[in-house]
A = this chain, B = another copy of it.
Amino acid sequence: MTVRAGVVVTGTEVLSGRITDRNGPWVAQRLLDLGVDIAHITVCGDRPDDLTAQLRFLADQHVDLIVTTGGLGPTADDLTVATVADFCGRELHLDAALEVHIGGIIARWRGRVSADPDPAPLQAGIRKQAMVPEGAQSIPPTGTAPGVAIAAGQLPAILVLPGPPGELQAMWPAALETAAVAAVMARRSVFGQSTIRAYGLSEADLAATLRRAEQQIAGFAALEITTCLQLGELEMVTRYPESSADAYHRLAALVTEHHGAQIFSTDGSTIDDLIAGRLTGRRIATAESCTGGKIAARLTDRAGSSAYLVGAVVAYANELKIGLLDVPADLIAEHGAVSEEVAARMAEGAVGRLGADTAVSTTGIAGPGGGTDLKPVGTVCFAVAIAGRPTVTRTRRLPGDRANIRALAVTYAMHMLAETLTAPNPA
């Protein structure tokens, strides 16, 4: 059977948009990987009434599992355990052993801090974190806050996890082993999920193909298809029961037939995966102006990237383009710093000066200032230099504000790099 879950993210800092929630997406992905369907994610501030309303909503939607994140800290705004206990009609009890354990963690954490003249306020915070609802299973803290799992009669199972993403993720394996969560997991059945990724394909064109598929493919209705356009990448994810695998394969073939030129992945791999594979045995460098180091940062996000990434030069000032990347000063004077000519010499300079055999470069106007009639804000020039081949250059006008232009430029550079690495060597 389909097991459905809801995730409740607590914290006024998330609700108010001051910090970006990482826990909702992380928990959702783990549950989907485990074959659990996600019905709702809700975000509420540190207000018991709003949290209770969201728990009630999810229970009314008959989800099998509710996972809450956050609100387990020592401060008075951290109210999740007390609110969940109240929602389940359970009393809170002090777990004395847990109190000692948390006290020990805090003492080690504070370390060098001098003895507190009045330890009572600190102790009150520790005691608050050691309160456990009656009949609930406590999950050992991975920071200072223990988790809680409760199976309460007709209500969904409730799993209460801490807010700091590192603590939450470290606690996940133990959380899955609690009796309440394990009982839910035992009920699920298997779904497949497949992903097709394209770059430079419009949603309108994919939508047209999907309308054709709906008419042509028997069993199309059993495929749950979602599409998402992000930074020029269009992702189509299809979730389907095992019995509909055939219909999915016919759909994938139709989409590939119509949009093969734009599709770069049908097996779930990302552009980062493809680039990493294609860089095996190579030494790459980046030479960045408007992207300010973001391409290098993206490449080094990946463990093991030191096998192929040598380094980068961020040449924001023209003197650095000249001094560190050997771009001729008169080339800049003639064509301007934002030109394919300069981009090409930056990439070639990175190959030469950084001891690489492959380099990608960017030079552009991210704004908000610096645009001209001929080169408005959003104009970005790119080059990919590969030793022994002619350097490839391109220019794009990217839309949006400074952050969007920079993000689009990084994605464009990644795709141009991936494509150039697979192109047949004309030499």
Contact = CB atoms under 8 A, between A and B. Distances in A.
A243 interface: no
A419 interface: no
Given A226-B11, A400-B166, A320 B315 contact: no
Interface string A1-40: 0000000000111111111111011111100100000111
A211 B121 contact: yes
A210 interface: yes
B121 A13 contact: no
Given A208-B122, A292-B296, A314-B311, A42 B42 contact: yes
A119 to B, nearest CB: 9
Contact of A203 (B73, B210, B286, B306): B73
**How many copies of the chain does the oligomer comprise?**
2
A19 B32 CA distance: 14
A181 interface: no
A212 interface: yes
Interface stretch (A81-89, A105-113, A153-161, A246-254): A105-113
A164 B121 contact: no
Contacts of A227: 13, 73, 75, 77
Interface in A383-401: 399-401
Contacts of A45: 38-39, 226
Interface string A216-227: 000000001111
A205 B368 contact: no
Contacts of A15: 28, 38, 40-41
Contacts of A413: none
B306 A317 contact: yes
Given A166-B400, A210-B75, A317-B311, A323 B355 contact: yes
Interface in A49-87: 50, 53-54, 57, 61, 73-77
Interface stretch (A90-98, A133-141, A229-237): A229-237
Given A40-B42, A121-B207, A316 B304 contact: no
Given A11-B226, A46-B226, A226-B11, A369 B304 contact: yes
A310 interface: yes
A44 interface: yes
Interface string A289-333: 001111111011101111001111111110110011000000000
Given A75-B203, A110-B202, A312 B314 contact: yes
